[in-house]
């Protein structure tokens, strides 16, 4: 058997290395994984997301030891965890706060990718895996939201599952299949528990592993958007790279320390976070006969919920006009019959919108807002990756996009009104215009020339 002379061959470590690639894996993915030396603040959030994932798994395991997935016992079992189980309140708050903090760090992690073009070639698959993780997180959060069996849990699940009934032909049967009953009931709670505790976490862990493997295969991006593997020394090591360990392990340890201080402050002083992390209605047992005055999802879903709620009949007409104009534009640009796919698709979509309810198109808009993220690597046609070297108006567009998304998130937490609905509709159009217009506006303007080597100032 051939022995790698770069790994231990004696002692316990050597015994393991001859049977399992422990040292070589450590070197490949940590100590000899060369990352760009100009990482900044935005590169904390990937490791923080991994930290929160571990927190959610560990605290979730302890919670399942006392939780009862039974409609008559679920709420009482949560109260038992909070009041009777030693340190149960801490574990529950770590889990509930962790759910929100997971989305905080994931949103910031995705925003960093947007800023520095981390979705561009050769990292398309890294981005797609990341978007799949985000989609999985949304499903995991949704299934877990029902488990406390409080008023908002029950009615929130009822509203979301009923959305599937708007899908033509298969909608009613699909919503019935998801619930397992004609209403949200004990059967629904059991299957949501199974998805939340077993099915989705397994998929999520697999996607995280795939995300990291794909990242380490192509290498990390950096704020300058320069491929450090393009310039290597005589030893084959990137000239602008440094080993992840110990340099970035210490760097991430600092970020983890600050994060844990914030995390602990929320748990001990504001676990409800003013009703955004834990709603007051969820401290009331679920009552199928009493609907809460306002039913709204948790804050991390509110931007997409606002788009759903903003899709009214007048807004559907606006969407039909926009789709028709896009089809006409594609028809004008078509120079042969083989390019008529988009115009024909636009006609079919307009006809479908004319004969279906706006409720269904609200679901399509909400889902499309998430699915659009998957296509970002192929929509962005800019000659440079990083926002640092793009024209000023690109930065303005990014700012407008972020402002529109935050506005949608805020409006989703508030009761609907004519004014808020109109603002949400405008913000939804801005959101989709940002993506649909990318093939055009990302090419425009005067771009700065990126440097040959990464710009780095040692501290």
- Verify cis geometry, omega within 30 degrees of 0, for the bond prior to 316: no
**CATH superfamily of domain region 23-283:** Cytochrome Bc1 Complex; Chain C (1.20.810.10)
Collapse the DSSP code of 327 into the 3-class scheme (helix H, G, I; strand E, B; otherwise coil) and give the result: helix
Least-confidence region, from 61-65, 75-79, 294-298, 431-435: 294-298
Collapse the DSSP code of 238 into the 3-class scheme (helix H, G, I; strand E, B; otherwise coil) and give the result: strand
Decide whether 23-283 matches 299-441 in CATH topology.
yes
- CA–CA distance, 370 with 432 (Å, rounded to integer): 10
| End-to-end Cα separation, the chain, in angstroms | 46
CB atoms within 10 A of CB 92: 23
- CA–CA distance, 283 with 89 (Å, rounded to integer): 14
Domain boundaries, the chain: 23-283, 299-441
In this prediction, residue 459 carries a pLDDT of 58
- CA–CA distance, 432 with 303 (Å, rounded to integer): 13
Mean pLDDT of 188-217: 95
Helices 151-163 and 171-179: angle between axes, nearest 10 degrees: 150
Share of the chain above pLDDT 90, in %: 64
Least-confidence region, from 145-159, 252-266, 329-343: 329-343
- Verify cis geometry, omega within 30 degrees of 0, for the bond prior to 420: no
- CA–CA distance, 268 with 135 (Å, rounded to integer): 30
Mean pLDDT of 338-361: 78
In this prediction, residue 6 carries a pLDDT of 58
Q: Which ranges in 43-185 belong to alpha helices (H)?
A: 45-64, 74-83, 88-116, 124-146, 151-163, 171-179
**Above 80 in pLDDT, residue 154?**
yes
Partner residues linked to 36 by β-bridges: 241
Question: Average pLDDT, whole number, for the chain?
Answer: 90
Share of the chain above pLDDT 70, in %: 96
In this prediction, residue 339 carries a pLDDT of 63
- Structural fold of domain 299-441: Cytochrome Bc1 Complex; Chain C (1.20.810)
Task: Give exposure, 34-60, as e/b (b: 16+ Cβ within 10 Å).
Answer: bbbbbbeebbbbbbbbebbbebbeebb
In this prediction, residue 2 carries a pLDDT of 43
| 391-423 confidence digits (pLDDT tens) | 999 999 999 999 999 999 999 999 889 999 999
In this prediction, residue 182 carries a pLDDT of 87
């Amino acid at each position: 058997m051939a022995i790698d002379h770069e790994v231990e061959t004696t002692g316990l470590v050597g015994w393991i290395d001859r049977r399992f690639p422990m040292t070589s894996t450590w070197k490949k993915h940590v100590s000899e994984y060369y990352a760009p030396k100009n990482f900044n603040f935005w590169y904390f959030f990937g490791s923080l997301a991994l930290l929160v994932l571990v927190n959610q798994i560990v605290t979730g395991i302890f919670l399942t030891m006392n939780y009862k997935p039974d409609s008559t016992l679920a709420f009482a079992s949560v109260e038992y965890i909070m009041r009777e189980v030693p340190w149960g309140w801490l574990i529950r708050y770590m889990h509930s706060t962790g759910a929100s903090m997971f989305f905080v760090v994931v949103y910031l992690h995705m925003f960093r990718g947007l800023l520095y073009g981390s979705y561009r070639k050769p990292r398309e698959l890294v981005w797609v895996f990341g978007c799949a993780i985000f989609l999985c997180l949304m499903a995991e959060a949704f299934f877990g939201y029902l488990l406390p069996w409080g008023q908002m849990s029950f009615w929130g699940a009822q509203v979301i599952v009923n959305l599937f009934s708007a899908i033509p032909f298969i909608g009613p049967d699909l919503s019935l299949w998801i619930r397992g009953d004609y209403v949200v009931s004990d059967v629904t709670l059991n299957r949501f528990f199974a998805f939340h505790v077993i099915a989705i976490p397994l998929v999520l862990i697999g996607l995280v592993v795939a995300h990291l493997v794909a990242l380490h295969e192509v290498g990390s991006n950096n704020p300058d958007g320069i491929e450090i593997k393009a310039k290597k020394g005589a030893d084959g090591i990137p000239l602008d790279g440094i080993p992840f360990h110990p340099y970035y392990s210490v760097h991430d340890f600092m970020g983890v320390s600050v994060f844990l201080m914030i995390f602990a402050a929320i748990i001990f002083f504001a676990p409800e976070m003013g009703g955004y992390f834990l709603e007051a209605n969820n401290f009331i047992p679920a009552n199928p006969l009493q609907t809460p005055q306002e039913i709204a999802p948790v804050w991390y879903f509110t931007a997409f919920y606002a788009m759903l709620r903003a899709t009214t009949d007048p807004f559907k007409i606006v969407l039909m006009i926009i789709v028709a104009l896009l089809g006409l534009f594609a028809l004008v640009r078509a120079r042969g019959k083989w390019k008529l796919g988009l115009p024909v698709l636009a006609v079919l979509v307009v006809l479908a919108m004319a004969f279906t309810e706006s409720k269904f198109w609200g679901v399509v808009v909400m889902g499309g807002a998430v699915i659009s993220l998957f296509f970002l690597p192929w929509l962005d046609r800019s000659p440079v990756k990083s926002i640092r070297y793009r024209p000023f108006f690109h930065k303005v567009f990014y700012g407008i996009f972020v402002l529109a998304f935050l506005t949608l998130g805020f409006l989703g937490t508030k009761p609907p009104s004519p004014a808020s609905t109109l603002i949400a509709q405008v913000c939804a159009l801005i959101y989709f215009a940002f993506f649909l217009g990318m093939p055009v506006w990302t090419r425009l303007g005067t771009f700065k020339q990126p440097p040959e080597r990464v710009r780095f100032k040692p501290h």
